[in-house]
Homo-oligomer: A and B are copies of this chain.
């Protein structure tokens, strides 16, 4: 079939498309209740959208005491591709226009293999999803990469953990290969957008989304919009100092948060504990697989291993300390914790909460939920789909 070519012609149409995306099918009358336009004007704009094929009217809804309404919905054949490139693995998903994930594949891969190899893999995964019948093509794609991005151009800038990506024209290259519009953003921002769209952050205007994976980052949402900073590096909290003269960090400094707690640091600490005999549980798991990950620590902690619990609590205290500072500064309405370490669950959360509630002032913490993300690995790909749909569902 032909892909989406039209774009909303004005702000009203863009508004309607987003309402249909976020609220599902609606009648003209229901749409009218939400947009502050007269019924007549609304009808005109809906008709124009129907003409472009971006939305369709299919079937009649049940009567609510009067004439039955037509269901207006986004074109059911629209497909977005959400791509989340992590430090050690790639997630790719197809969504429909309502950003529901129809299919999701994951492939382990080190981002340091460089953009060419990674995108070869991404294209293969996109093709696989297509072959499985979930899509007959893509109308747009959102891409998340684990580092700062010059957003308007969709180009990574000076990414510390992705040598070889600096300046690579991700947006342009992928747009060419996929044959559809592409938007690129930091993976942490996409996670925030995902949780905002379909997760715990629905209806919260200002919030922080802390992603603890191989590294640590923080998505910042201000007034419902992702804040990216002057050079696209906003939220880069991994190198905030938490310990004077602490551990050496890859960035060249000492005592960075990321050096003391992150997926990578936790794995290192766990292996250390296993080798020095401080934890039989961890030692057994190291024996079995040759290396340890944050997931191993989570399992050991669930089994009651005191060393694992200690490591998680210590880490939680460190992150909590930083988050406490950010809460004082930013005064968010919600803090979401997500990423690979979500498996550490409530032990981690408890430490973070303790630090924040103890250190920050009551006015900022009084009504502040600190919660785990609820979308897990789909947060990033959902956010990616949201990114491109926000772009496409805005006036050209």
Which residues of A pack against B, CB within 8 Å?
Answer: 148, 157-158, 160, 205-206, 218, 220, 222, 227-237, 239-241, 251, 253, 321-322, 324-326, 328-333, 358-364, 366-368
Contacts and interface: CB of A to CB of B under 8 A. Distances in A.
Given A326-B329, A361-B251, A321 B229 contact: no
B331 A230 contact: yes
Given A222-B222, A227-B222, A325-B325, A361 B234 contact: no
A230 B206 contact: yes
Contacts of A330: 220, 229, 234, 329
Nearest to A158: B363
A222 B228 CA distance: 10
Contacts of A157: 363
A269 B222 CA distance: 39
B229 A332 contact: yes
A360 B239 contact: yes
A331 to B, nearest CB: 3
B329 A329 contact: yes
A256 to B, nearest CB: 9
A363 B231 contact: yes
B160 A233 contact: no
Contacts of A251: 361
A325 B241 contact: yes
* Residue with the highest number of chain B CB atoms closer than 10 Å, among A233, A237, A362: A233
A238 to B, nearest CB: 8
Nearest to A236: B328
A332 B230 contact: yes
Contacts of A241: 321, 324-325, 359
Contacts of A360: 239
The 7 closest A-B pairs by CB, nearest first: A229-B331, A234-B331, A230-B333, A240-B325, A233-B363, A233-B331, A158-B363
A234 to B, nearest CB: 4
Q: Which of A158, A240, A324, A366 is the most central at the interface, judged by chain B CB atoms within 10 Å of its CB?
A: A240
Contacts of A229: 206, 330-332, 364
A241 B332 CA distance: 18
A229 B5 CA distance: 39
A363 B240 contact: no
A237 B363 contact: no
A251 to B, nearest CB: 7
A231 B331 contact: yes
A330 B148 CA distance: 13
A103 to B, nearest CB: 35
A364 B333 contact: no
B328 A237 contact: yes
A233 B333 CA distance: 11
A5 to B, nearest CB: 28
Contacts of A362: 158
Given A233-B331, A329-B329, 8 more contacts: A157-B363, A205-B230, A230-B368, A233-B328, A234-B331, A235-B329, A241-B321, A326-B329
A329 B331 CA distance: 14
B158 A359 contact: no
B236 A361 contact: yes
Contacts of A234: 329-331
27 contacts: A158-B363, A206-B227, A220-B330, A222-B222, A228-B331, A229-B330, A229-B364, A230-B332, A230-B333, A230-B368, A233-B361, A233-B363, A233-B364, A234-B330, A235-B329, A236-B328, A236-B361, A236-B363, A239-B328, A239-B360, A240-B328, A241-B321, A241-B325, A241-B359, A253-B358, A322-B325, A329-B330
